[in-house]
Amino acid sequence: MNPWKDEDHFVSWLRAVSGQSHRAATRGVGKRSAAHPHRASIALKMAASTLRVRNTYLGGAVSPIRTRLGAPVAIKAMAAKLARLVYRMLRYGMKYVDRERSSTRPNTASDRSPQLKWKAAKLGFHVVEAAA
């Protein structure tokens, strides 16, 4: 792991995330993707695409990104996250400790009620709680 200064350089080398600056994006410079992506990058993207059905911390992290930005962006973002985890494991010998999905997502109606009230107010509805 010595060829890379840090995990960001490793992720960039894998081309797991787009590294275009604002200027390059507006001028149309460098918009073509790599002709032959790294095999490791392909493997990380395949692993990231299966995370949404897993009941793990990483599976819970992919759902909000997928909802907001779409599946392709979520897969690239999770592939980059996996690449950073792989780099830390190989470089520093860190072990991956998985947390449960419940730590990232609300599971009960009482946890979700403020968010639902906010969404209803944004749509112009007034929420009245019913007696139990």
Q: Would you kindly state where each structural domain of the chain is located, as residue ranges?
A: 7-105
Cα–chain center distance at 43: 16
**51: Cβ contacts below 8 Å, ≥ 6 apart:** 58, 59, 61, 62, 78
pLDDT at 19: 46
Length of the chain: 132
pLDDT < 50 regions, the chain = 19-23
- Cα-Cα-Cα-Cα torsion 51, 57, 60, 62, nearest 10 degrees, comes to -50
pLDDT at 123: 93
pLDDT at 35: 58
62 in Cβ contact with 52 (< 8 Å):
yes
pLDDT at 100: 62
pLDDT at 20: 46
pLDDT at 27: 57
